[in-house]
Amino acid sequence: MTILTRRKLIGSAAIGAGGLLTGCDALNRNPAFQDILASAETANFAVQRALGDRMELASEYEITDLSPTFRANGTRDPGTPEYAASAAQGFANWQLRMTGLFDRPQQFSLAALQSLPQRTQITRHDCVEGWSAIGQWTGVPLKILLDIARVQDSARFLVFDCADSLGGRPYYESIDLLDGFHPQTILAHRLNGSALPIANGAPLRLRVERQLGYKHAKYVTGIQAVASLAGIGEGKGGYWQDVANYEWYAGI
Amino acid sequence: MPKESRIRQQSRHRLTTRLWHWINALCLLVLLMSGLTIFNAHPRLYWGEYGANDDYAWMAVGSSETFGYLRVGQARIETTGFLGNWQDSEGRTRTLAFPGWATIPSSYSLADGRRWHLFFAWTFSLGLALFMIRSLWNRHIQNDLQMRRKEWRPSNIWQSFCTHTKISEIRKSADKGYNVIQKLAYIMVIFILLPLMILTGLAMSPAMDANWPFLTDLFGGRQSARSVHFLAAFLLVVFFLIHIVMVFLSGPLRQTAAMITGGQDREIGR
């Protein structure tokens, strides 16, 4: 009798587990429930911003701490004829356009960017998938570019346009001005002492060290200062936010 | 009735304990299953600050179209059917690490898994904090969980271990206060493993690395924190299995009912 009861209990537990999974999948497809889950992003953003002094630096490492190989992920080569042509001449014709809510919109060649003051930092790159790699990045602090172009008061976000597409959609990312002016936010053109490899985003890659890897846009061609992210892509602020449910704030 | 004896008549499990028990059980289940989704994105574990595909993983789940395996250090065990190579509900072969029945959502989505994980991480953390504060305040921790000096005696622990090998003794123990092994298990879970899950989780966050760099350093790097996060989750699963076996052996209906309605106390609180 006891055994039968136990068997029944185990059986109903298995059915319960199956029901739980079906239930979770149904909840996962429910937009209202997704909104509830996504509220954690707001909490993470508010708490993580409140915990530091807002300009707190990410850990920096020694040259002996470098990963033996720096893994490349996402697009490893934009593969367009224009990109290939530019790569063939060492990106001498690469242009970075700063448009939108700037008092003085700018256009920089790679050489012009390299002639500005530079910052070199050895930081840990944390991918949303779970792996990490430590690399040495050299580039121009974004703050210098923002000061030259003069961000208008109405601007709230910086949108990074990229030369690569995934599944026919152009990659893009966005950050707020606080991260834009952060001392470790740079447009990097060198990795581990050499010109940035194509697989890692040549010739220009955003480093926004306090967030996960997908925020670090590669193959950057333009920076738009905008008041709102609506109207860009699907309005969620980035490629992965638009195509899947990745969070705009990627501090965790 | 004098106040003293009324306190002794109170239920076996306090309302806070019961509420937290079930909220926490739900949170841990969701956190485990959504955590396995996140693990599936990169089923390799490392020690140190960095670790990616070209670096040595101390543990990895390997996949191919024909078989799956688990590698721990140099040891390799084939796990075809449930790890690295398994059939989904439609009979198709999948080569993710953990199978769909163990993950939330059941079909792989790292973004959705993260959403579930980070939302329930908040519920879990706030629940644990409130439970701890309330249980200090109502003296549940001091009266029922705190180890007495005489309980630390090896003979006492051995005796408690021996009673765990006799089903009749386990049945009887359901009416008594927590025995020493039970206390140690609950202390280990509530004060070590659960806080460790929160701390190692935070230590993986790049923003927390800027805010509280000591947290990542405490575990010897981000990838070490990720490994400890996984190992502590594994220990919680082990606790859960033993917990369920003990509930079954000591009277599953009465024990479950007591955790819902409160049950009747005989010795707790003395």
Whether residues B105 and A28 touch (CB distance < 8 A) is answered with yes
Q: Which residues pair with A205 in a beta bridge?
A: A188
Task: State residue A27's pLDDT score.
Answer: 94
- Domain assignments of chain B as residue spans, ordered by start: 3-43+98-269, 54-97
Closest to B222 (Cβ–Cβ): which among A21, A38, A126? Answer: A126
Q: Which of A198-212, B24-38, B89-103, B254-268 has the lowest mean pLDDT?
A: B254-268
- Residue count of chain A, please give it: 252
Which residue is it, tokens 């990720």?
B226
User: How many whole angstroms separate alpha carbon A64 and alpha carbon B48?
Assistant: 13
Give the DSSP letter of residue A208.
Answer: -
CB under 8 Å to A3, separation ≥6 — which residues? Answer: none
CB under 8 Å to A240, separation ≥6 — which residues? Answer: A214, A246, B111
Confidence of residue A127 (pLDDT cuts 50, 70, 90): very high
- Per residue in A143-191, pLDDT (tens digit) is 999 999 999 999 999 999 999 999 999 999 999 999 999 999 999 999 9
Whether residues A132 and B222 touch (CB distance < 8 A) is answered with yes
pTM over 0.80: yes
Q: Which residue has the higher pLDDT, A71 or B9?
A: A71
Task: State residue A125's pLDDT score.
Answer: 98
Return mean pLDDT, chain B. 92
Which residue type does A1 have? M
Task: State residue B265's pLDDT score.
Answer: 59
For the residues A65-80, what does the mean pLDDT come to? 96
Q: Please report the residues numbered 67 through 126 in chain B whose beta carbons come closer than 8 angstroms to any beta carbon of chain A.
A: 100-101, 104-107, 109-112, 114-116, 118-119, 121-122
With a pLDDT cut of 90, the percent of chain B lying above it is 80
B7 class by beta-carbon count within 10 Å (0-12 exposed, 13-18 middle, 19+ buried): exposed
Please count the CA atoms within 13 angstroms of the CA of B38 that sit on its side-chain side: 26
Task: State residue B1's pLDDT score.
Answer: 42
B246 has a pLDDT exceeding 90: yes
> B230 near B98, Cβ under 8 Å?
no
Q: Does A108 touch chain B (CB under 8 A)?
A: no
Whether residues A68 and B54 touch (CB distance < 8 A) is answered with yes
| Assembly ipTM | 0.91
- Per residue in B19-30, pLDDT (tens digit) is 999 999 999 999
Among candidate residues B262, B240, B248, B243, the one with its CA nearest the CA of residue B171: B248
Return mean pLDDT, chain A. 94
User: How many whole angstroms separate alpha carbon B35 and alpha carbon B117?
Assistant: 6
Closest to B118 (Cβ–Cβ): which among A6, A58, A252? Answer: A252
CATH of B3-43+98-269 among 3.40.50.1950, 3.30.530.20, 1.20.950.20, 3.30.390.10:
1.20.950.20
